[in-house]
Amino acid sequence: MSTAYEELVQELQQIATLESCGSVLGWEQETYMPPGGAELRSEQLSLIAGLCHSRSTSPRIGELIDAALAELGDDSTSDRAVNVREARRNYVRACKLPDQLVREISRVTSLGQQMWSRARKQNDFPAFAPWLQQIIELKREQARCLLREGQTLYDALLDEYEPEVSSASIQATFAPLKESLVALVRQIAQAKSRPDRSLLQREFPKAGQQAFSRLAAEKIGFDFERGRIDESAHPFCSGFGPGDCRLTTRYNEREFNMAFFGTLHEAGHGMYEQGLNPDAFGLGMGRAVSLGIHESQSRMWENLVGRSYSFWQYFFPLAQQTFASSLGDVTLDQFYRAINIVEPSLIRVEADEVTYNLHIMLRFELEQLLMNGDLNAVDVPGVWNERFEAYFGMVPPDDARGCMQDVHWSAGLIGYFPTYALGNLFASQFYSKAVQDCGGFQDDFVKGDFSKLKNWLRSNIHSRGQQYLAADLVKVVTGSPLDSEPLLTHLETKFTDVYRIG
Amino acid sequence: MSTAYEELVQELQQIATLESCGSVLGWEQETYMPPGGAELRSEQLSLIAGLCHSRSTSPRIGELIDAALAELGDDSTSDRAVNVREARRNYVRACKLPDQLVREISRVTSLGQQMWSRARKQNDFPAFAPWLQQIIELKREQARCLLREGQTLYDALLDEYEPEVSSASIQATFAPLKESLVALVRQIAQAKSRPDRSLLQREFPKAGQQAFSRLAAEKIGFDFERGRIDESAHPFCSGFGPGDCRLTTRYNEREFNMAFFGTLHEAGHGMYEQGLNPDAFGLGMGRAVSLGIHESQSRMWENLVGRSYSFWQYFFPLAQQTFASSLGDVTLDQFYRAINIVEPSLIRVEADEVTYNLHIMLRFELEQLLMNGDLNAVDVPGVWNERFEAYFGMVPPDDARGCMQDVHWSAGLIGYFPTYALGNLFASQFYSKAVQDCGGFQDDFVKGDFSKLKNWLRSNIHSRGQQYLAADLVKVVTGSPLDSEPLLTHLETKFTDVYRIG
């Protein structure tokens, strides 16, 4: 006789397997699918989403959760207890959504992504606007279903990505951060010593970029036996499940940063996925805490490691070998300063460490307007451009490099962006603790050894699954609540050096 | 109020959509999946197969079929009637198989293919043998479930690929064909004028092969907006559904034939898939008749078109441009003779038009022994090599180029091989009728125009779906029952010319 807990686990793991079929289909849609496949793919994704949802909300799951809770008794902290608690959170949430809505959101966002991709290529926002409007309306409907007391519609969506966090608390974190960042950007803008960006805009042949960025991903610890990297219009990481995690990136032969730091970023996500307990697939103990914590992993490897001096002490000679004609005459110092240029720029995913969060704040504002009903899809370009100018002192030359640059809204991912900025905060706070715990990493990094940090992350974060909410995990790991001080200290220390300020 | 027929269609199309998710997963397993993904993938495929099977066998489908039959009344020939008839055939068949067995076959064959791929690379048959044995036992169990009166176990499997055909009838077709083929091979072996194979074994860079074979596939009519081509260990075609059909091939830089004719072959399959009525997705009117008819399409484009002189009158100058250093000094006549060399060889998929069927006959014999219980997996290499020598006068140097060369058995596809030889017979019979109906194709082919043949196939075969059984379709289209005379006439005419005999 198996216990209710065991039955629950079996059922949840089957649902997770079915969901992972949807992940493969979604990944393939972005990497290889021919244009003619769009319609069938949206039907497939919608069908899988519907099946997952109806199984996730079957009364049997509710009964098993209740029975498993009874089996647990006083235990609220064991792995089992975590799994049941998280199963319950998901069950309660899922039961609020009608099957029909789930299938419809899946179908429309699958097509929406195709439409976005085409419209972006042709810089044709009006072609995308009706799709965006339809998605916004579906997400508002979803939010109304999920709404808990004291939440805004936006909060209800945010909760899916960052459990138990409200837009007000994010706003409270963002406001002072914004001030400090704007001050730092201004200080940097006035610095006399300017790095030379042009050396990153020489010829970087695609084959070399592929090999070099793959090497770096492998060196920091992404396991290519259990994953791979492909190309897509918008880089992403998709952990299908145990043993299979996919990264994507994109290449520009006249630009070094995009593919390289994009790959490090996605590899950071991928290492989190690869570090989850495979036996707990589909359960709380085998899932990432939140998107913010996920992003802390990608941003840590991309920026705190990948844009550090000691990282390049090891990798720069290899880069010079790979791109001899472009980097042969460049010094490590010039290169290090160039990859750390701080400047207002158009594209979020290519933004530097300092201005990045401002891109997020802009999107956070617009998303709230869209959800409150204060902004319609057709008016997005106008409001985007106006606020972009206020933040960055320039207007995007077109919507492709403006409000259409990101895949998220077309994929229905509203409430997702702020987790990126939270990720930066988490990353710095974790990293400064890791440095302290491990007595620094520089001596290892210069030798191309990243195992100490990876192991620290494995035991402090990855292997813990959803044992704690993000806010509690930060406290458990670092001893303090979420704090923007480590990020600001890091940025100020680093960039006064890079820009020879003060 | 919708009719029972309409409800049935809706349900069948949902099942087809779910099955098509399995097709994507299966395709990805063979093209891009990293090694670590094997276990999860087999779970995914098994889950999808189980879901499809349990939906396909739900009593509701049975009720809808009965009600739809009642709605049809006397009508037994309309498209609706065909769809209901084929739904019934599949339903009756599916209901004979327990869910558990379907899931188990899916799981074991997904892993089996991984094991086969690894074992073949390492030429390690003993590592594969236990998997093969397990698959054979599962297939015997499946055959026992499906068995109808008067069938052998092997017939019960064959019926899935070539409905209503028995191994005895295939044997009756194969026996005289074998005699004639062996006589022709002997005659060719004695010919004094020998084509020069070496010119196809010069340098053919992969990029050139990719571009050239893709061009040819496009020219004959495969639509790359609704499909694509990738690499896999074993070439195949997978029609996911309307708008999305995938081909695979493989490249050898010292061999022209493999990728090129492999691509034409798979493109022939693909054009059948692309020619099916998209509105009848998941229904009899939107499905291929049988594997034999499917193979008639691939073999027609590969051999009857792709190895014809007029085809190369158009393509050879392009081949010379693409592979200037290897083909610059070759004449069209030398090239044409080289791609039509007839010689006993090890690998089925690379075999010439004359010896190809002998490869099939060998497999057909072994499969029957395996199903009858007269042969165990461990003994396959011995029996394979012995019979191979009897057929071809040589012994394979290793199992990788012997009994492990094909993916089929590892994928549970037992009873599949004979449909390849049937495909050759169907192809010649259809083609000679198409030539007659259209007044010959040579004048068009030399101009690179293949539309007449494609259109003839569209209207005579593709668009008809499963309106007729294979045996009836041949009669309807050509006016005669299946006959090996067109194939033998084609081979004798062509090869007495190629080998300057008589």
DSSP assignments along B29-86, one per residue: HHHT--GGGHHHHHHHHHHHHHHHHHHHT-HHHHHHHHHHHHHHTT--SSHHHHHHHH
Half-sphere exposure of B316 (CA within 13 A, CB side): 22
Interchain proximity B228–A34, CB inside 8 Å: yes
Those residues with Cβ within 8 angstroms of residue B150's Cβ, 6 or more apart along the chain or in another chain: none
The Cα of B42 is separated from the nearest Cα of chain A by a number of Å equal to 10
Arithmetic mean of pLDDT, B451-478: 98
B36 with A241: Cβ contact below 8 A: no
User: Whole-angstrom Cα distance, residue A353 to residue B366?
Assistant: 65
Please count the other Cβ atoms lying within 10 Å of the Cβ belonging to residue B408: 18
Calculate ∠ Cα B495-B497-B502, nearest 5°: 95
Cβ contact A225–B25 (<8 Å): no
**Rounded Cα–Cα distance for residues A70 and A85 (Å):** 12
In 10 A of CB A126, how many CB atoms? 11
Tokens of A41: 């793919």
Contact B244 A28 (CB under 8 A): no
- Report the amino acid identity of residue B329: D
pLDDT in tens, B322-349: 999 999 999 999 999 999 999 999 999 8
Would you give the distance in Å from CA A27 to the centre of its chain?
15
Average pLDDT for A251-272: 97
Residue-wise pLDDT for A343-399, tens only, equals: 999 999 889 999 999 999 999 999 999 999 999 999 999 999 999 999 998 999 999
pLDDT band at B350 (very low <50, low <70, confident <90, very high): confident
Q: Which residues of A touch B14 (CB under 8 A)?
A: 47
In this prediction, residue B502 has a pLDDT band, given cuts at 50, 70 and 90, of confident
pLDDT value at residue A233? 85
Chain A closest CA to B230's CA: distance in Å?
9
Mean pLDDT within A240-267: 97
Report H helices in B147-229. Answer: 153-161, 167-189, 206-220
* CB spacing of A223 vs B35 below 8 angstroms: no
Torsions phi, psi for A94 (to 5 deg): -65, -35
| Three-state helix/strand/coil letters over A329-346 | CCCHHHHHHHCCCCCCCC
CA distances from B231 to A5, A27, B247 (A): 44, 18, 8
Instruction: In whole angstroms, give the CA distance from residue A494 to residue B182.
Output: 80
Helix (H, G, I), strand (E, B) or coil at A360: helix
DSSP B146: H
Q: How is domain B167-498 classified at the architecture level of CATH?
A: Orthogonal Bundle (1.10)
Q: Rounded mean pLDDT of B273-295? A: 98
Residues linked to residue A230 through DSSP beta bridges, in sequence order: A248
Dist CA A363 CA A345 (whole Å): 15
d(CA A409, CA A427): 25
Q: How many CB atoms lie within 10 A of CB A328?
A: 9
Question: Which chain B residue's Cα is nearest to A230?
Answer: B32
- DSSP for residue B303: I
Residues of B in contact with A224 (CB under 8 A): 34
For residue B118, is pLDDT > 80? yes
HSE, side-chain direction, 13 A CA sphere, residue B24: 29
H-helix or E-strand spanning residue B11? helix B4-31
Interface touch A20/B230, C-beta < 8 Å: no
> Dihedral of CA A331/A333/A339/A342: which sign?
negative
- The reply to whether residue A37 touches residue B223, judged by beta carbons under 8 angstroms, is no
Kindly list the distances between the CA atom of residue A27 and the CA atoms of A138, B30, B36, in Å, as whole numbers in the listed order.
23, 16, 17
Distance between CA atoms of residues A481 and A473, nearest Å: 9
3-class DSSP state for residue A440? Answer: coil
- Give the pLDDT confidence score for residue A110 in this predicted structure: 87
Distance CA A250, CA A270 (A): 16
pLDDT over threshold 90, residue A132: yes
- Contacts of residue A122, defined as CB under 8 A and 6 or more positions apart, other chains included, come to none
How far is the CA of B355 from the CAs of A122, B178, B340, B384, B421, in angstroms? 53, 10, 11, 16, 11
Pick from A40, A228, A241: CB nearest B242: A40
What integer is the mean pLDDT of B404-423? 96
Question: In the prediction, which pLDDT does B168 show?
Answer: 96
CB contact under 8 A, B51 and A48: no
Cβ within 8 Å, pair A37-B226: yes
Considering all CA atoms of chain A, what is the largest pairwise distance in Å, rounded to the nearest integer? 75
Whether A243 sits inside 8 A of B36 (CB atoms) is yes
- Mutation pick from A24, A224, A246 vs chain B, by most beta carbons of B within 10 Å, is A24
Q: Tell which residue, B58, B82, B54, B67, has the closest CA to residue B2.
A: B67
pLDDT surpassing 90 at residue B110: no
Q: Which sequence spans correspond to the domains of chain B?
A: 4-124, 167-498
pLDDT digits (tens, 9 = 90+) for B34-63: 999 999 999 999 999 999 999 999 999 999
CA distance B38 to chain A (A): 8
B441 with B452: CB under 8 angstroms?
Answer: yes
Count chain A–chain B contacts defined by CB atoms under 8 A: 101
Strands of the A237-241 sheet, one edge to the other: A227-231, A244-249, A237-241
Residue type, A276: L
- With CA atoms as reference, the chain A residue closest to B242 would be A40
For residue A24, give how far its alpha carbon lies from the nearest alpha carbon of chain B (Å): 7
- Say if CB A430 and CB A479 are below 8 A apart: no
Average pLDDT over residues A27-40: 95
CB of A345 closer than 8 Å to CB of A126:
no
- Which stretches of chain A sit within 8 Å of chain B by CB? 14, 17-18, 20-21, 24-25, 28, 32-41, 43-44, 47-48, 51, 223-228, 230, 240-244
B224 chain-A contacts, CB cut-off 8 A: 34
Q: What is the C-alpha to C-alpha distance for residues A58 and A7, in angstroms, rounded to an integer?
A: 14
Q: pLDDT at residue B181 above 80? A: yes
Contacts of A34 in chain B (CB under 8 A): 224-228, 243-244
Report pTM.
0.94
| Best B11, B20, B23, B24 residue to mutate vs chain A (most A CBs within 10 Å) | B24
Give the one of B21, B37, B41 whose C-beta lies nearest to A48's C-beta. B21
Question: Which residue in the list A11, A30, A266, A367 is annotated as catalytic?
Answer: A266
What residues of A are in contact with residue B38 (Cβ under 8 Å)? 243
Angle of CA points A306, A312, A317, to nearest 5°: 140
ipTM over 0.90: yes
d(CA B381, CA B132): 12
**Do A228 and A246 touch, CB atoms closer than 8 A?**
yes
Contacts of B23 in chain A (CB under 8 A): none
Nearest Cβ partner for A43 among B17, B225, B228: B17
User: What residues of A are in contact with residue B47 (Cβ under 8 Å)?
Assistant: 14, 17-18, 21
Sequence-separated (6 or more) residues with CB below 8 Å from residue B46 = B103, B104, B106, B107, B110
Residue A56 half-sphere exposure, CB side, CA atoms within 13 Å? 28
Q: At what angle do helices B418-438 and B470-478 cross, to 10 degrees?
A: 20
Looking at residue A440, what is its pLDDT? 96
Query: Residue B221 forms beta bridges with which residues?
Result: none
Q: Give SS3 for A238.
A: strand
Distance CA A297, CA A315 (A): 20
Tell me, what's the pLDDT at B1? 65
Gap between the Cα atoms of A317 and A314, Å rounded: 7
Q: Is A184 within 8 Å of A354 (Cβ atoms)?
A: yes
DSSP B397: S
Minimum-distance CB partner of A24 among B24, B36, B240 = B24
Tokens at A308, concatenated: 């550090």
CB A235 within 8 A of CB A266: yes
Residue range A291-308: mean pLDDT, rounded: 98
pLDDT of residue B17 exceeding 70? yes
Q: What is the mean pLDDT of residues A261-267?
A: 97
| A35–B21 C-beta distance less than 8 A | no
Q: Testing the interface with A: which of B23, B40, B52, B54 to mutate, by most A Cβ within 10 A? A: B40
Taking the CB of residue A137, how many other CB atoms lie within 10 A of it?
A: 13
The end-to-end CA distance of chain B, in Å, is 71
What average pLDDT does this structure show over A100-129?
Answer: 93
pLDDT at A81: 97
Question: If you count them, how many residues does chain B have?
Answer: 502
3-state secondary structure of A284: helix
Residue A239 backbone dihedrals phi, psi, to 5 degrees:
-85, 105
Give A195's contacts (C-beta < 8 A, 6+ positions apart): A334, A337, A338, A340, A341, A498, A499
Coil, strand or helix at B394: coil
What is the pLDDT, as a whole number, of residue A478? 98
pLDDT digits (tens, 9 = 90+) for B119-156: 999 999 999 999 999 999 999 999 999 999 999 999 99
Using CB atoms, which residue from A44, A226, A240 is nearest to B20? Answer: A44
pLDDT, position A217: 98
Return the residue matching tokens 């902004």: A375
Q: Kindly list the distances between the CA atom of residue A160 and the CA atoms of A156, A284, A291, in Å, as whole numbers in the listed order.
A: 7, 14, 9
Question: What is the rounded average pLDDT for all residues in chain B?
Answer: 96
Average pLDDT rounded to a whole number, residues A248-269: 97
Chain A residues with CB under 8 Å of B230 CB are 32
Q: What is the pLDDT of residue A234?
A: 86
Which stretches of B351-393 are DSSP H helices?
Answer: 356-372, 380-392
Which residue in A11, A12, A21 has the most chain B C-beta atoms within 10 A of its own C-beta, making it the best mutation to test that interface?
Answer: A21
Please judge whether A21 and B227 are an interchain contact, meaning their C-beta atoms are less than 8 angstroms apart. Answer: no
The answer, yes or no, to whether residue A126 has pLDDT greater than 90, is yes
Q: Give the gap in angstroms from C-alpha B264 to the nearest C-alpha of chain A.
A: 19
Whether A36 sits inside 8 A of B223 (CB atoms) is yes
As a whole number of angstroms, the distance between CA A470 and CA A464 comes to 11
Residues of B recognised as catalytic: 266
**CB distance A24–B20 less than 8 Å?**
no
The partner residue sitting opposite B40, judged by closest CB among A25, A43, A244, is: A244
Q: Order of strands across the sheet with B244-249? A: B227-231, B244-249, B237-241
Q: Using the beta-carbon criterion (under 8 Å), do A40 and B17 form an inter-chain contact?
A: yes
pLDDT at A1 over 70: no
